[in-house]
Homo-oligomer: A and B are copies of this chain.
Amino acid sequence: MTRKELINQIFTKKTFLCVGLDTDIKKIPAHLLGEEDPIFAFNKAIIDATAPYCVAYKPNLAFYESMGVKGWISFEKTIQYLNENYPQHFIIADAKRGDIGNTSAMYARTFFEEMNIDALTVAPYMGEDSVTPFLQYDGKWVILLALTSNKGSHDFQLTTDAEGERLFEKVLRKSQEWGDKDNMMYVVGATQGKMFEDIRKVAPDHFLLVPGIGAQGGSLEEVCKYGMTKDCGLIVNSSRAIIYADKTEKFAEVAGEEAKKVAEQMAKLLS
């Protein structure tokens, strides 16, 4: 999906919500456990119920990989279901990969060519040649970790170098030598509040993928106040607060209602 198409989706649907498919077998409704593939059954129902209120889906690979081969099958089925039924939705594989060049190239081939995923989260620690293999595909995106939502983000990301630049700022600046606003986004946690102002100084036009509202405590208003651009420039993710809002047979319906509430808030913030 191109940047223009993404922006068009956001303003047409009046939402910039991404639903995080962090699907955990221990947290899904008990009545699904009798299904042949409970994880996929859960995802399918959640997707059908929330699709009108979001522009993106983000399965976190860790949740699938933690179940080995079975989990990988559920992941592939979920991606296939999205591709076939919701081609207008932006698909993000939250993989946080990053390896030496030839290895990153293999990941890029798998996720972009074979699975037709739109974007992949990538860790910046290994530098340029771990990132650029992902930038060789038209309409595909790297979403580079910049300033994450967790407590440990302070350990290294905020380190100030001899020139007064913090590590996350160096990641933002340096990576713009490799890609641009048409193929690169950044992960910035919603818990970072006013830091969005600093982010926008270095990356004024890039889209930001923002996890951390809901269960992790970030505020949507604050994120928009400091991070929104004229093109919106934000994809805000919510996982647990939507997908686990209810654990009865009505789980999907309730997830849809929760997504709708967030989308209504977003519509106001967009106008």
Which of the residues B106, B130, B161 comes within 8 Å of A152, measured between beta carbons?
B130
Q: Would you call A128 and B101 a contact (CB within 8 A)?
A: no
Q: Does A65 contact B (CB under 8 A)?
A: yes
A200 within 8 A of B: no
* Cβ–Cβ contact B68 & A100, under 8 A: no
Pick from B103, B148, B159, B167: contact of A60, CB under 8 Å: B103
Contact A127 B156 (CB under 8 A): yes
List residues of A (159-196) whose CB comes within 8 Å of B's CBs.
Answer: 159-162, 164, 167, 170-171, 174
- A69 and B68 form a contact (CB under 8 A): no
Pair A62/B107 contact, Cβ less than 8 Å: yes
A56 vs chain B, min Cβ distance (A): 19
Q: Of B66, B106, B123, B155, which is within 8 A of A106 by CB?
A: B66
Task: Please give the count of copies of this chain that the complex contains.
Answer: 2
Residue A125 contacts which of B99, B124, B164 (CB distance < 8 angstroms)? B124
Does A151 lie at the interface of the complex (its beta carbon under 8 Å from any beta carbon of B)? yes
A residues contacting the other copy or chain, number (CB 8 A): 56
A265 to chain B minimum Cβ distance, whole angstroms, is 24
| CB pair B62 A68 closer than 8 Å | no
Given contacts A129-B150, A159-B167, could you give 19 more A-B pairs where the C-beta distance is less than 8 Å?
A24-B106, A62-B99, A62-B107, A68-B114, A69-B69, A72-B72, A100-B148, A124-B125, A125-B125, A125-B157, A126-B145, A127-B150, A127-B154, A127-B156, A128-B155, A130-B152, A156-B170, A156-B174, A162-B162
Residues of A within 8 A of B (CB): 22, 24, 60, 62-63, 65-69, 72-73, 76, 96-101, 103-104, 106-107, 109-110, 114-115, 123-131, 145, 148-157, 159-162, 164, 167, 170-171, 174
9 chain-A/chain-B pairs, Cβ below 8 angstroms: A62-B103, A62-B106, A66-B106, A68-B115, A125-B156, A129-B151, A156-B170, A160-B161, A162-B162
